Amino acid sequence: MDNDVKIKRKLFSTKLCPRCLSPLKMATPLAGWVTPAEYYCEKCGYRGYIALEKAE
């Protein structure tokens, strides 16, 4: 389970919290497949579908 999450996170670009600009975690395991991707921020508690994309 943990390995699976790490692999998925590498495939997508880094998402940042719109409130505090911290890296976001996926709030739903199947995000982007059956449901829109929902993100969760550990730092400020933000949870939602809006995420800033880090420009590489």
Is residue 51 a contact residue for Zn ion (CB under 5 A)? no
The closest of 23, 21, 22, 26 to 8, measured between CA atoms, is: 26
Is residue 9 a contact residue for Zn ion (CB under 5 A)? no
User: 50 near 16, Cβ under 8 Å?
Assistant: no
Is residue 26 a contact residue for Zn ion (CB under 5 A)? no
CA 7 to CA 26: how far, in whole Å?
Answer: 13
Closer CB to Zn ion, 19 or 28, in the complex: 19
Is residue 19 a contact residue for Zn ion (CB under 5 A)? yes
Interacting residue ranges for Zn ion, rule: CB under 5 A: 17, 19-20, 22, 41, 43-44, 46
